[in-house]
């Protein structure tokens, strides 16, 4: 049977590992959202430039 110290150590490692994974996943989501924001901003800017030339483009 596992000792209390050993169980606590395993629990701590599992908890620490899950927190690391959550941190990495959160960073990924944040980066993805920033990338999409920049892409959307570029698309809107390009649409605004094209709108001056083509009046049929719908404004956002």
The DSSP string of the chain is ---HHHHHHHHHHHHHHHHHHHHHHHHHHHHHHHHHHHHHHHHHHHHHHHHHH-TTSPP-
Q: Considering the domain boundaries, does residue 1 fall inside one? A: no
Q: What is the pLDDT along the chain (60 residues), one digit of tens a residue?
A: 779 999 999 999 999 999 999 999 999 999 999 999 999 999 999 998 888 775 555 555
User: pTM score, two decimals?
Assistant: 0.65
13 within some domain: no
Look up the domain containing 58 and give its range.
26-60
- Give CB contacts under 8 A, 24+ apart, made by 42-47: none
Provide the number of structural domains found in the chain. 1
């Amino acid at each position: 049977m596992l000792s209390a110290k050993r169980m606590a150590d395993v629990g701590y490692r599992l908890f620490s590992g899950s927190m690391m994974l959550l941190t990495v996943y959160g960073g990924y989501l944040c980066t993805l959202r920033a990338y999409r924001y920049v892409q959307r901003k570029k698309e809107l800017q390009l649409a605004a430039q094209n709108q001056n030339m083509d009046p049929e483009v719908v404004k956002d």
